[in-house]
Amino acid sequence: MASAHAKYTGELGVCMATSGPGAIHLLNGLYDAKLDHQPVLAIVGQQARTALGGHYQQEVDLISLFKDVAGDYVHMAATPAQVRHLVDRSVRIAKAERTVTCIILPKDVQEMDAVEKPPRAHGTVHSGVGYAAPVVRPTDADLRRAADVLNAGTKVAMLVGAGALHATDVVIEVADVLGAGIAKALLGKAAVPDDLPFVTGSIGLLGTKPSWDMMMNCDTLLMVGSGFPYSEFLPKEGQARGVQIDINPKMLSIRYPMEVNLVGNSAGTLRALIPLLQRKPDRAWRQLSRTTSHTPTCGPERAVRTGMACMRRSSAMACQPLNRRRRTAPEARPGAGHNAHHWTPSRTKKRNASTTASVGTGGRPGPGARLAIRSISSATSPAAFGPMPTSKPKTRKPEGGHSIPSGDGLQRVLKAAPWSHRSHAHDRALAVGGGRCAGARG
């Protein structure tokens, strides 16, 4: 839920857990946040300080456990006077680096009186709150170099990711000026509407044929806010000149050898780039272009039309035992694991004013359930689901497992479960197929 909250709102997500197994259960969701560059703070418990090192009940070396997923900041409080700056720093680092941080609070420290203001003495830290994101923009010289590359291209392809989610209008404007087609990485599904004729849809293992055709025939690639991992779906090395925009310098030129790398916010960088771009009067690339062997190849707009027609035909084919491409949205419901994860990118269309989110680099289906719950809770109230049934809760017993309540029984499980274990209860109940989202209070 914390990762889902960060993805939908852009705010800091916070999650809490008890010591030992409770803390371990957080790892899957925290890695989802880390790999998708989402700010999340985990606050976890620990056994009393006097018991540490004694092979005590549920004693786990939590600093070592969280050192990878929360490597930018993970610390354990040894005294209440330390907590203020641990909280201040963990929040600020999570937001500034768009990453996961962690605070560990031993049981006996939690039982002590809070210290609102540390004493003014040597060896104490006096921190403050607040963080305002800076405006990051490339230099004018780098912008001119990027514009020269894009202006020289005749067949421009754009690939947008999560970094372009808040740059929809300017991304469309740049594509219009350059006569470019737009492909979308999975986390960039909501960056631009799918009903635009030059948007080819998703790319990669979960992508569309129009996106593949565009990448295989372009001569210039503009990548905006994307860490799309599969280089084999990008142009062959040396085929296209490349320009990449990313707020994180670590992500530049690691998927394709880019000629110009621009460090900056996607929307601001594209706005600064537009005055330097030359509008391409020839729109043949978007319609129909030809290779050097005079073999006709589709440009983005025509590829979209033919590709969607191909999808409709394949979806109508009779297959045994099941045509997976015929699945409808209820069957591929959010949070249903890999079926929905694979079905959604190429089979759903994003329109204006709609919001989507997904598990991305981590590819973990478990957090998908929380994304679904978060999306529903943000758009509706519990009353929208109607009253919960009053009959005796039914149970389903999966092979080799324990009985899992469904219907109103799911709600009771989630209310009764300890806070740190509710996400686990969510996943088990939803995986079995029972329950209603109205019971998802954790």
46-97 pLDDT, tens digit per residue, is 999 999 999 999 999 999 999 999 999 999 999 999 999 999 999 999 999 9
Q: What pLDDT is recorded for position 362?
A: 55
The values of phi and psi at residue 284, to 5°, are: -60, -35
Sign of torsion, CA 311 315 320 322?
A: positive
Cα 205 from chain centroid?
Answer: 17
The values of phi and psi at residue 222, to 5°, are: -115, 110
Q: What pLDDT is recorded for position 287?
A: 72
Q: What pLDDT is recorded for position 422?
A: 39
Which tops the pLDDT comparison, 365 or 245?
245
Residue 232: which of 207, 252, 249 has the closest Cα? Answer: 207
199-213 pLDDT, tens digit per residue, is 999 999 888 889 999
Domains of the chain: 2-110 (3.40.50.970), 140-314 (3.40.50.1220), 389-442 (no CATH)
Residue 117: which of 84, 164, 151, 154 has the closest Cα? Answer: 84
Confidence of residue 153 (pLDDT cuts 50, 70, 90): very high
- SS3 category, 13: strand
Residue 201: which of 64, 89, 356, 324 has the closest Cα? Answer: 356
Q: What percentage of the chain carries pLDDT values higher than 70?
A: 65
Residue 214: which of 291, 303, 282 has the closest Cα? Answer: 303
For 95-134, give the DSSP string: HHHTSEEEEEEEHHHHTSPP-SS--SSTT-----------
Per-residue burial over 166-176, b = 16 or more CB atoms within 10 Å of its CB, e = otherwise: ebbebbbebbe
Q: Calculate the alpha carbon distances from 396 to 61, 390, 421, 433 in Å.
A: 36, 18, 20, 9
For 168-203, give the DSSP string: HHHHHHHHHHHT-EEEE-GGGTTTS-TTSTTEEEE-
- CA-derived radius of gyration, the chain: 25
The values of phi and psi at residue 408, to 5°, are: -70, -15
- SS3 category, 374: helix
Collect all residues with Cβ–Cβ distance below 8 Å to 257 and sequence separation of at least 6.
Answer: 237, 242
Q: How far apart are CA 7 and CA 98, in angstroms?
A: 11
Which of left, alpha, beta for 323 (phi over 0: left; psi -120 to 50: alpha)? beta
Confidence of residue 365 (pLDDT cuts 50, 70, 90): low
